[in-house]
Amino acid sequence: MATLNKLLKFGLYAVIFLLALVFSLYLTSKWIVQSEEEVLVPDLVGHDTVYALDLLTALGLNIKVGGFMWSESVPKNFIASQKPDAGTWLKQDRDVKVIISRGSKRVRVPKLVGTKLREAKLVLAQNGLQLGGICRIPESQYPRGTIIAQKPEFLQEIERGQSVDFLISNGSKPVAVAMPELRQRSVGQALKILEGLGLLPSEVKEVHQPEKPLNAVVDQRPLAGYRVDGDSSIVLTINRLPQPKGQEAKLWWLTYHLAAGYFKKEITLSQHREGEEVELYRKIHRPGDQLDWLIWVRSSDEVSILLDGLPQRQDPIGFN
């Protein structure tokens, strides 16, 4: 009986001790928490993240980006909302979550009439818009490849992600002429004659006929005298020696645009042929001029463009 009483007393003392320990820990943690310094959360809405980071860091708080949202009132990349709200007391070393504005979901359509399609694509991308349908028509008042109309029109408001359709000039309406006689002429002569008439061969074939002059036109379609225009399909057959295996030579249309400036520049076009450098073109041009050449090469690597004697990096889009 005495032993049982001792065990009960020991258990009671143990419970009292544990309760006292828990209560002491509670009071200690509460005192520590209450002793942490509290600061007033500032208003960050409408400010950029750099400003918010500097301000919160000075107050001993952390900034955390919680996402993005569209906002008609807050500019793009500025803070649109925050948690906790401004004016809330918050202990130091806590996080303030901010939502960044994507800007307005609606945007005014930029004016793209009079520009080239390549430039229009860049402007559309910068404004979050997509390239829509494209229609081309003959138009003498606008250079070939220039936008002459757009839909939606300039300054009309639409949502980002929508498309803008374009009507693009295809240049002056082709003028019909009689197909010239090109047989027995050299390739250079034939191409110069066609270029003078505003024509361009759509295909060039090669054959080897030993009895006829090399690098000369031996056949043409259409034949001389037939009605053709800039949209006609013209096929020339050239007498050439059999080419070694590898990439075959073909006609390339090369475009080069001089940068804006104040001084004229000398432009030289040359071709690498079997270890030799052959000059194809040399002339002085004004800043902003656009040059177009029709050349016969295997690849763009065979051609060099020099600006006042200095090699120029070729834009791959210039070759087609």
| Domain limits for position 301 | 247-320
Domain co-membership, 60 together with 112: no
| Torsion sign over Cα 146, 148, 154, 160 | negative
Residue stretches of the chain with pLDDT short of 70: 1-15, 17, 20-36, 173-174, 243-251, 273-276, 313-320
Residues 210 and 158 both lie in one domain? no
3-state secondary structure at position 312? coil
**Through-space distance between the first and last CA atoms of the chain, rounded to whole angstroms:** 109
The total number of structural domains in the chain stands at 5
The verdict on 164 and 181 lying in the same domain is no
293 shares a domain with 267: yes
Q: Are residues 53 and 74 in the same domain?
A: yes
Q: State residue 316's pLDDT score.
A: 41
Task: Show the tokens assigned to 5.
Answer: 């009483």
Mark whether 96 and 165 lie in a shared domain: no
Question: 320 and 251, same structural domain?
Answer: yes
Which residues fall within 8 angstroms of residue 17, CB to CB, at 6 or more apart?
none
The whole-number pLDDT of residue 306 equals 87
Please tell me whether residues 281 and 216 are part of one structural domain: no
pTM: 0.38
Query: Domain ends where: 169, 197, 214?
Result: 169
Q: Which of 153, 169, 185 is the last residue of a domain?
A: 169
pLDDT at res. 5: 64
Report whether 215 contacts 244 (CB < 8 A).
no
User: How far is Cα 114 from Cα 125, in angstroms, rounded to an integer?
Assistant: 18
Nearest to 111 by CA among 149, 160, 60: 149
